Amino acid sequence: FGFIVIFLKAPSEEQRIRDGVPILSQNAGWSAKDWDGVNKEVADLLKNESKLERSDLSGWDFKTDGKPLNGAEIVESVSFLNENFDVLNTAKFGDLSSVKTILVIQVHDRPVYLQYLIESMRNTQGISETLLVFSHDINVGINNELIRNITFARVYQIFYPYNLQLFPTVFPGQSPADCPEKMKRDRAQETNCSNWSYPDKYGNYRVAQLTQIKHHWWWKMNFVFDGIVDKFKMNDPWVLLLEEDHMLAPDALHVLDIVVTNRPTYCAACEIISLGFYLKSTNKYGQDIAHLGVHPWYSSKHNMGMALQRATWKKIQGCSEMFCSWDDYNWDWSLMQVSAKCLPQRFRVIFTKSPRVIHIGDCGVHTHRCEAHKALKSTQDLFQQYKDRLFPSSMTVTDTSRRSLKPSKENGGWGDRPPTVRAQQDATGQGVGSTAIGAPFDAQHENSVQHEHQYFNYLHHLIE
C-alpha cells in the first residue's frame, strides 16, 4: 500500500505573485491568446483526455514500494490527503474555532476564472475572518499554485477522490464498455454495451463528464459538514457555496452578515440566503443595492452564492434517495425536487436584489465563448460605478412572494447501471478506511446509500 503525496509549491517570492494572487489577474484586457502559455498544462490535459486508456496520474506524485497502486488504494490515499490537510495561514489568523463563514469553491480546470475569483475575494471586506475551502475534481498545477499563494485567509484544499482524472475508464468514469450517449436502445442492446438497458428518460446514456459535477457537489457538501465543521468543532458556521467562475462584490460578506443578523426579522423561516441573482439588466443595481427579496427557493434563480447551515444540510442529506435517483445531472435541479417533494415545507430564501456574487463564466459546460476578461471587466465596472453605495448600513425586504413556481421536469443525463451492482455493493459489509464522510451517487442502485463507507466499498469493487 502507498500514499499519494501531492507536492504543492510554497508561497512564491517571485515578482509575479502579489498579496496571494498573480498580478496578471489585474489586467482585465488579457485575451485567450495571452493566456496560452499560462494554461498550456490544462490545454494539454484536456486535449488528451478523450484518448486516455488508463488513469491519468500526471498530476499526482505517488510514493510506493515499487508496486503500482490499485484503484482502492488510490482512493484511500486521496482521502488520507483530504483528512490530513494542514490548514494554511492559521499562524496568521488563528485556528478554525472562531470562523463564522466558510466559503466553499467547487473547482474544475479554469485557472483564468479561478484567479479572478481569488482576486475578488482578496478585495472582499471581512475575508480574513473566513475559511476558504477549495474542492477539486482535477489536480492542475497552476490551480494549486494560485491557492497555495493565498495569504489573506485560512485555506483548506480537498480533492474529490473518484474523479475522472484518476478513473477515466471505470465507473464513475466512462468505461469503454459503456453505451455511447446517443446510441439508440435497440442498437445498444444489439451491441450489448454494459448499460444498454438503463438510458435516461430521453433515451440517452450517461456522460461521465456531466455526472461528475453532481457527484462532486454531493461529496463536497458531506465532507465540508462532516469532515471540517464537525472535525474542528466549529460553531455552526454559514457555508457559502461558490464556483470557480464567480466573483464577489467587496461588500459580499458585509451583506451576508446583515442578513444573518436580521434573519429573524426579515424571514425567520428562511433557511437559505442567496447573494447571487441572475439580472436581466443592471439598470436598477444602484437602486436595489440595499434591497432584499423573500421567496420560495427556486434553483434557477437562487442557486448562486447560496448559503446554508448544518440543520438545513441535514434535511437535504435526509432526502438523499430523491436527490440521487432524480434523473438530472444538475445538482441544483435535483435539489429543487428535494425542496418541492421530499421536505415537509419548501425552502424559502432571502436574496439580494442587487447580487453580491456575479457569474462571469462564459466558458464552461454549456458555453464556449471563453472571453473571461470581458465578463470580468463588465463586473469590475459595475462595482466601480456603485462603489459609493456598497456597504449599506441596513437592508430592507422590498420583494415578498409565497408563490411557488412549478419545478421543471428532469433534464436527464443520470442514467442507471445494472441493479446487480447494488447487490454486490450491499454485500460488501463494513466500510473500508478511516473515512465515514458522505459520498456521491450516480443512479437508482445508490438510492438508500447515505455515507461514504458504503459507496467507498462499492467503488472498491469496481476499481480494484
Task: Give me the residues paired with residue 363 across strands.
Answer: 368
Structural Rg of the chain based on CA atoms: 22
Instruction: Write out the H or E segment, with its range, that includes residue 396.
Output: strand 396-400
What residue numbers does the annotated binding site for substrate cover? 106-110, 137, 212-216
What residue numbers does the annotated binding site cover? 106-110, 137, 212-216, 245, 359
Distance CA(33)–CA(37), nearest Å, equals 8
CA distances from 253 to 49, 128, 184, 259, 396 (A): 38, 11, 50, 10, 17
Which residues touch 265 (CB under 8 Å, ≥6 apart)?
A: none
Strands 131-136 and 246-248, by their bridges, are: unpaired
User: Is residue 458 exposed (0-12), middle (13-18) or buried (19+ Cβ within 10 Å)?
Assistant: buried
Which residues touch 157 (CB under 8 Å, ≥6 apart)?
A: 85, 133, 134, 136, 144, 147
Task: Give me the residues paired with residue 295 across strands.
Answer: 349
- b (16+ CB within 10 A) / e for 141-152: bbbbbbbbbbbb
Residue 259: CA count within 13 A, CB half-sphere = 30
Distance CA(57)–CA(77), nearest Å, equals 13
Distance of CA 295 to the CA centre of its chain: 24
Distance CA(131)–CA(122), nearest Å, equals 13
What residue numbers does the annotated binding site for Mn(2+) cover? 245, 359
User: Is residue 397 exposed (0-12), middle (13-18) or buried (19+ Cβ within 10 Å)?
Assistant: middle
Decide: helix, strand or coil at residue 104: strand
Greatest alpha-carbon pair distance for the chain in Å reads 67
Name the E strands within 119-262.
131-136, 154-159, 238-243, 246-248
What percentage of the chain's residues is helix, strand, coil (to nearest 5)? 35, 15, 50
